[in-house]
Structure 1
Amino acid sequence: MTSHAKTRPQRRVAAGLLCIGAGALALTSCSSGGTASSQGTSGGKGGKVKVALILKEFTNPYWISMEKTAKQEAAKKGIELQVTAGKSDDDTTSQITQIEQAIAAGDKGIIISLNGDAVNNALLKAKKAGLVVVAVDTPPIPASVADVTYATDNTQAGTLDGKWAAAKLNGKSADIAMLDDLSDQVITVDVDRDHGFLQGMGIPVGNPNVNGKEPKSGQYTGGKGGSYKIACQQPTNGSVTGGQTAMETCLSKDSNINLVYAINEPAAQGAAHALKAGGKTGVTVVAIDGGCSNLSFVSSGQVGATAGQFPGKMASEGVDAIAQFVKTGKKPTNQQGKDFFNTGTKLYTDSPQSGVSSINTKAAAKMCWG
């Protein structure tokens, strides 16, 4: 899940040690400090070009998909890729350790999905040591911490969800549950998706830098417009269990919730489980991710719509950027006028709404990941 980050490691292991993950299965930790795997091919003048890929964690299929694509691209480019990750979306301690290990190992670059701005100083240290720093999925704050960020326009992704939801409501009142990522850290992906959804609904965000500051009730202006209230705002840690617990908490506060925004698909699926267990029907759930495993939830209507993103493109662009730097000495840069390089998003739904661009699950199956 997702995600301008403010805040989020693992110890490298010998080349003979490898954590192996398949499909949506969680990868087992190689050490108490975190998880790691490596793939090496010869490349570069005078030996192997080494690059560190540091993910948020290793249980979400999103990161597993990113790892798979990065390894494939690294093999094509003659790069030795060392893959590590945090224990969770907010584990910055491990990522700091992994960054320091990449510097000590003489890596040419780091590709990282930040778990938070606590890693910023370590990344600046890496840049000072001559490494190219590529952020993926989660732009750092400030953006200059990384040389380039390859990411979804998370505000746009959230906006697609919000516009679709407002159109589907068709003027009905919206009783909304906001299922975010974290509550104790400010992460750009979390804020951007949340605020994008609100903007798509036509609800003012309040403080543009923090979640939860919007007016708790009023009129939404998206679609035909109508009244709304924010029934609850809960963290999910971007997980199925977190989404289910958050949704259960929300329903205990307001049993009339009819619209759920979720930070990512695991959180949305957890919410769907809670709604089903509670016997709740007629509740619209929206999410962001674009995983193949989620399409059944969309086709069944348990998740009404999801904004698909492309983690493989982020990963391959990151590997290519460092390979190009090694070859030419030219560092990658963000798109002009942006603090990231947009890798695109599309809305997947089998309930299309007028005025909102989308594709159905059959078409989405040709471009989903995982």
Structure 2
Amino acid sequence: MLKSASSLLAIAALAAVTTVAVSADQPVIGLITKTDTNPFFVKMKEGATEMAKSRGAKLLTAAGKQDGDNAAQVTAIENMMTAGAKTIMITANDSKAIVPAIQKARAKGVMVIALDSPTDPQDATDALFATDNYKAGILIGEYAKAALAGKPAKIVTLDLFPGHPVGAQRHNGFMKGFGLAAPDKSVNTLGTAPEIICQADSYGDQAKGQTAMENCLQKNPDVNLIYTINEPAAAGAYTALKRAGKEKGVVIVSVDGGCAGIRNVKAGIIQATSQQYPLKMAALGVAAGVDYATKGTKVSGYTDTGVTLIADKPMAGVDSKDSKVGESLCWGK
């Protein structure tokens, strides 16, 4: 968990994109995100940019064209090494396929830090700064169980795409929190159960989430609980429900806690979401990169950057904060 709102806001006070002049001894740090359009990664880039400015580092940035674009990330690693980056931070699009490129970088003395998404294996990078995505799933699963109040569950899951560890951890954590038999956090396949009446990939995209939910409603219109990989997918699911006249009485739970997502909690579109803090992930990564460039010290292992359950209707036995708190902290704004 975050130590305090003030500590997050201290990091978040760094908020405008500024170009830093290059000098011969200036640390060069790379940030490679899954895409450059998802608001989660936009916020991550903001945090990295402003921490780099405050620490006198030059930040190089790149992104995949869409979720799952490994080739662009491999090219970005190569380009950043050529440009002199001594630390590269990455949210991997393909947790396995990116590993050979990371190994080449580390063999040449580049420190590689995974943000948000671990590689497979996790120790392919020097360190991981991320939310505990399995715990994030557990929190919304516990909330959903309480919200159904004993009604038989008819669940739709709108997932990321097959084989991605974050998608699996959130999905399986949700199952475990709900009380269904689920794989543990080390397994990158999605658990199944009779209560899950439809399972579809959304790629974390609102339009794809809407289409996936429309397809699920055609297969089985009798749904009372929807789990989504993130809040854009949740917004798409709600649109599909509303167009079908089925939005009432359906509990939607999600993960991310972005400002738009928290507004949807406030509006009653999403009942609960697990909030994480990408600005903090990136800011910590840049600080570690500067320390490596200037002192030769490397970070290692996993740093948990915190998760908070946000819901405006509290459930007995489930610890949560309301949307007012969520708005004050959304992604470290």
TM-score, normalised via structure 1 length: 0.82
Deviation readout 1:44-68 (Å, 9 max, x if unpaired): xx43221111000011111001101
Are 2:227 and 1:265 aligned? no
Select which of 59, 64, 81 maps to 2:42.
64
Deviation readout 1:180-207 (Å, 9 max, x if unpaired): 0013xx1110110000000000101258
Are 2:231 and 1:254 aligned? no
Select which of 172, 184, 198 maps to 1:195.
172
Are 2:305 and 1:307 aligned? no
Select which of 130, 133, 136 maps to 1:157.
136
Q: Distance in 1 between matches of 2:156 and 2:41?
A: 26
What residue is the counterpart of 2:182 in the other structure? 205
Select which of 10, 19, 33 maps to 1:55.
33
Select which of 274, 297, 308 maps to 1:330.
297
Select which of 97, 111, 117 maps to 2:75.
97
Closer/same/farther in 2, CA of residues 135 and 252 from structure 1, 3 Å limit: same
1:286 is paired with a residue whose SS is strand
Deviation readout 1:76-116 (Å, 9 max, x if unpaired): 11111011100111000000000011122221110110001
Q: Distance in 2 between matches of 1:303 and 1:181?
A: 18
What residue is the counterpart of 1:30 in the other structure? none
Q: Distance in 2 between matches of 1:351 and 1:289?
A: 18
Letter in 1 for 2:240: A
CA contact (8 A) 1:38 1:82 kept: no
Q: Distance in 2 between matches of 1:177 and 1:264?
A: 14
Closer/same/farther in 2, CA of residues 210 and 146 from structure 1, 3 Å limit: closer
Q: Distance in 1 between matches of 2:266 and 2:145?
A: 20
Are 2:118 and 1:139 aligned? yes
2:84 is paired with a residue whose SS is coil
Compute the RMSD of aligned alpha carbons: 1.8
Closer/same/farther in 2, CA of residues 38 and 95 from structure 1, 3 Å limit: farther
2:328 is paired with a residue whose SS is coil
Q: How many residues align?
A: 315
Q: Distance in 2 between matches of 1:175 and 1:154?
A: 23
CA contact (8 A) 1:74 1:81 kept: yes
Closer/same/farther in 2, CA of residues 249 and 350 from structure 1, 3 Å limit: same
CA contact (8 A) 1:198 1:205 kept: yes
CA contact (8 A) 2:182 2:191 kept: yes
Q: Distance in 2 between matches of 1:273 and 1:102?
A: 40
Q: Gaps spanning 5+ residues in structure 1: where? A: 1-21, 24-36, 218-228, 335-339
CA contact (8 A) 1:180 1:263 kept: yes
What residue is the counterpart of 1:365 in the other structure? 327
Q: Distance in 2 between matches of 1:163 and 1:346?
A: 13
Q: Distance in 1 between matches of 2:42 and 2:167?
A: 20
TM-score, normalised via structure 2 length: 0.91
Are 2:55 and 1:88 aligned? no
What residue is the counterpart of 2:6 in the other structure? none
What residue is the counterpart of 1:115 in the other structure? 93
Q: Distance in 2 between matches of 1:295 and 1:344?
A: 17
Q: Distance in 2 between matches of 1:130 and 1:102?
A: 13
Letter in 1 for 2:200: Q
Q: Distance in 1 between matches of 2:191 and 2:176?
A: 13
Q: How far apart are residue 41 of structure 1 and its match?
A: 3.7
What residue is the counterpart of 1:148 in the other structure? 127
1:233 is paired with a residue whose SS is strand
Select which of 155, 162, 173 maps to 2:152.
173
More helix by share: 2
Q: Gaps spanning 5+ residues in structure 2: where? A: 1-14
Letter in 2 for 1:241: A
1:366 is paired with a residue whose SS is helix
Q: Distance in 1 between matches of 2:234 and 2:258?
A: 12
Q: Distance in 1 between matches of 2:18 and 2:104?
A: 23
Closer/same/farther in 2, CA of residues 38 and 114 from structure 1, 3 Å limit: farther
Q: Distance in 2 between matches of 1:168 and 1:342?
A: 28
1:150 is paired with a residue whose SS is strand
1:140 is paired with a residue whose SS is coil
Q: Distance in 2 between matches of 1:170 and 1:211?
A: 29
What residue is the counterpart of 1:126 in the other structure? 105
CA contact (8 A) 2:172 2:183 kept: no
Runs of at least 4 residues off by over 4 Å: none
What residue is the counterpart of 2:313 in the other structure? 351
Q: How far apart are residue 42 of structure 1 and its match?
A: 4.5
2:273 is paired with a residue whose SS is strand
Closer/same/farther in 2, CA of residues 66 and 174 from structure 1, 3 Å limit: same
